Every structure is written in C-alpha cells, then in structure tokens.
Amino acid sequence: MHISEGVLSPAVLAGGAVLTVVGTAIGLRKIDYEAIPRVAILSAAFFVASLIHVPVGPVGLHLVLNGLMGLLLGWMAVPAILIALFLQALLFQFGGLTVLGVNTVTMAAPAVLCFYTYRGLLRHPGTPAAIGAFACGFTAVLLSGLLVALALITTGQAFLEVAQLVLLAHIPIMIIEGIITLFIYLFLQKVRPEMLEGIYA
C-alpha cells in the first residue's frame, strides 16, 4: 500500500499533503486527554502491523489495520497514521517523506469514512455491531486499494488495470483484517465495554 518516492507527480504529492494537514488538524482537535493512550497504542499497532507479512498472492502482503483505527479513533486516526507512517518512512524506508501526505490519505481517509459509515451498525450491540466491525476492517483495506489505484492514474497507469490488480491481491488481507477487527471489537466489548460506549454512545 505504500507508494514509493519518485513515482507520483508534484501536483498529486501536494494534494495529498494538503489533505493530510487538514485531516490532522481536525483529528488533533478531537483528541482529548482520555483518548491519548488509545491513539498512542493504535498508532504503535499500525506501525508494527506493516511488518506482519502474509504470504499470499504474487507480492507478500502485510496487515494495514486502518479499519480498526477508524473504528476506535474516527478522525483521530489521521494523526495516529501520520506519525506511524513518518516513522516507517524514516526507519524502514517504506514509502518516503515526500509521499507521506499521499500515503496518509490513502490509509487514513478510509478509516474516517468507515467510522461514519458503520457507526450506525456499531451502536446496536450484538449481531449488527459484529457485522459492522467486520465490514469496517474489510472495507477500509478495499478503499485504500482503490485510493492507491486512483493516485497512480496520474502516472499513466490505467486505473482499472491497477485497481483490479491491487484489489485481487488484497482480497485475503481484507478478510483477515475483517476478522481481526471483529475479534478485537468483541474482546474490547468483553473487557473494556466502557471504552466502546464512550465512542458509540
């Protein structure tokens, strides 16, 4: 999912950077004192998830966890993902500093979108919430793949072709992410229900 340096045009890079700044500003305003540990832990989880390598498809794929971040953080996922991506670029050479904005948008925008889309389902405990949690993890990766394909249009690669390739390659990841998001949701519901009630009251 990380787009490398030197692939995209300056216009796309600038667009990504602007959107990231706006999203980060909104996210930062939403972080209150109680939310800080939650944002920190999920940012760390996202940072490490990219190292968990799933050997399917032509290219080894890794977990993204942006659906889970959307589910638990909403807008606050943007600064959390930005920090994790910044450190990944610095320490692992994933992506790069100039592409930081675009990469943040491709991963954080689906997180925020899924938060609002599935909020309704997640408010009803039981089966609807469980379906919402799975769908949240599943759709976030799907949307990220589409956004990557969209960003690559400008490089002359045909959208449909790339989108097809990215999506086909990520189907297993979508399912795994859906299951992981579901399990962590169920776990939190059992152990820390007050945390979820705080978000989906």
Partner 1 sequence: MPSKWWRGQSHLLQSIVQLSVFIIFICALTSPGLAHRAIIFAYAEGDTIHTESKFVPDTPVRQGEVQVLDRKTGKVLLTGQTDDQGKFSFKIPAEAVAQKLDLEIVLEAGMGHRGEWLLRADSYLQGVQKATAQPPASTSTPVAAETPAVTVDRQQLEEAVNKALERQLVPIKEMLTELTVRRTSLPDIIGGIGYILGIFGLWAYFQSRRKRNP
Q: Find out whether 63 and 180 touch, Cβ atoms under 8 Å.
A: yes
The CA distances from residue 194 to 52, 188, 197, in Å, are: 30, 9, 5
The helix or strand, by DSSP H or E, that contains position 199, with its residue range, turns out to be: helix 193-199
Touching partner 1, residues 73-132 (CB under 8 A) = 83-84, 87-88, 91-94
CA distance 149 to 128: 31
The full DSSP string for 106-138 is HHHHHHHHHHHHHHHHHTSTTHHHHHHHHHHHH
When binding is defined by CB under 8 A, the residue of 69, 114, 152, 196 that contacts partner 1 is 152
Stretch of 70-78, 120-128, 134-142, 176-184 lying at the interface with partner 1 (CB under 8 A):
176-184
Measured from the CB atom, the residue of 2 and 101 that comes closer to partner 1 is 2
Measured from the CB atom, the residue of 32 and 201 that comes closer to partner 1 is 32
Minimum CB–partner distance for residue 33 and partner 1 (Å): 5
Give the residues lining the site for partner 1 (CB under 8 A). 1-8, 31, 33, 36-37, 39-40, 43-44, 47-48, 50-55, 58-63, 83-84, 87-88, 91-94, 148, 151-152, 157, 162, 165-166, 169, 176, 180, 183-184, 187, 190-191
